Amino acid sequence: MTKYISILSVFLMLFALSVFAARDEATVQAIWTFDEGDAADTSGKGVNGTLAGEPEVVDGIVGKALKFDGVDDGVKLPDSNGLNTGGPFQNRTIAAYFKCADVSITDHKQTIFEEGGRTRGFVIHVFDGQVYVGAWNRAEYQWAGAWPSAPVESDKWYHVAMVIRDGSNAVEDDKFEMWLNGEMIASEPGGQLFAHGDDTGIAHTNQNAVFHDDDGAGTNIHFFGGIIDEVIVYNSAFDADDFAENKKAIQNITSVEPQGKYTTTWGTLKTQRTRQ
């Protein structure tokens, strides 16, 4: 009996380690929870943002979130070696919860997150009923970019993520992924990203981007209207297991009192990761 218990214990330990194998906590570059009503980076990497305008502190998916007016509210982020000025970055995950007040807007993009500029960069944005994730590296190996998208509705919570998985100095199949509500919905050609130094922003384009229609040159443009919560950047490529809690959170939103339910599961998850 003792022998079988030992084997079972080893199996359970290996299973627990594999659940979050793709998400490497050593690669975290920034986490903006907005729980204190500011844009402090809670990852310990010091990528603290500065609020522009007067975003409102509201209830989010996990604790508090920021509500942006779509006119002049945003978060301005500093340069960081692990975020944008270093590299090249072979693996990257950028993710956020968002609830857009009006997804049908077409007179401007609604930027959730952007970093980089016209030559290299990342962007997540909403336009004309679609949420897009984009990445490009138009020097070094000439990746023109990819912008997969999915339909979204107004005033509804979503979790969106982009992933570069084992990118190299070449455009190769299945290196750039879009995830929505814990499901991978697109896998496209892509590659690694070299250093990209233009200013980074949340809820607006702080300085230059490339959108699905290539319109994004300028500063302080393309403001987002709605709520954004739990923005994260890791230099590891998340997989389905890593997005499982995000999927559960969105599912809980459609049931009674999702806030309390997800806060509990998120706390449990963080405890598990710490123990590993």
Contacts of 246 (CB under 8 A, 6+ apart): 95, 97, 159, 161, 181, 182
pLDDT at 22: 87
For residue 144, pLDDT over 50 is answered with yes
How does pLDDT run across 197-252, given as a tens digit for each residue? 999 999 999 999 999 999 999 999 999 999 999 999 999 999 999 999 999 999 99
* Alpha-carbon gap, residue 49 to 37, rounded angstroms: 12
Higher pLDDT, 193 or 12: 193
The Cα diameter of the chain in Å comes to 69
Taking residues 25-32, what's their average pLDDT?
Answer: 98
* Alpha-carbon gap, residue 166 to 209, rounded angstroms: 23
pLDDT at 255: 64
C-alpha distances in Å from residue 18, one per residue of 63, 164, 265, 270: 28, 20, 18, 15
Residue recorded with tokens 């570069």: 164
Partners of 128 in the β-ladder? none
pLDDT at 258: 40
Measured on CA atoms in the order 128, 129, 131, 134, is the torsion positive or negative? negative
Contacts of 185 (CB under 8 A, 6+ apart): 148, 150, 178, 179
Higher pLDDT, 266 or 38: 38
Residue 105 host element (H or E): none
For residue 271, pLDDT over 90 is answered with no
3-state secondary structure of 10: helix
Taking residues 120-139, what's their average pLDDT?
Answer: 98
How does pLDDT run across 59-101, given as a tens digit for each residue? 999 899 999 999 999 999 999 999 999 999 999 999 999 999 9
Fold entry, domain 24-275? Jelly Rolls (2.60.120)
My answer on whether omega of the bond before 258 falls inside 30° of 0, hence cis, is: no
Q: Which of 21-25, 65-69, 252-256 has the highest mean pLDDT?
A: 65-69
**Is the separation of the CB atoms in 43 and 30 below 8 Å?**
yes
For residue 274, pLDDT over 60 is answered with no
| Nearest alpha carbon to residue 23 among 179, 242, 249 | 242
Domain boundaries, the chain: 24-275
Tell me the residue type at 90: Q
How does pLDDT run across 9-18, given as a tens digit for each residue? 444 444 433 3
Contacts of 24 (CB under 8 A, 6+ apart): 234, 236
pLDDT at 6: 45
Q: 124: which 2 tokens?
A: 């997540």
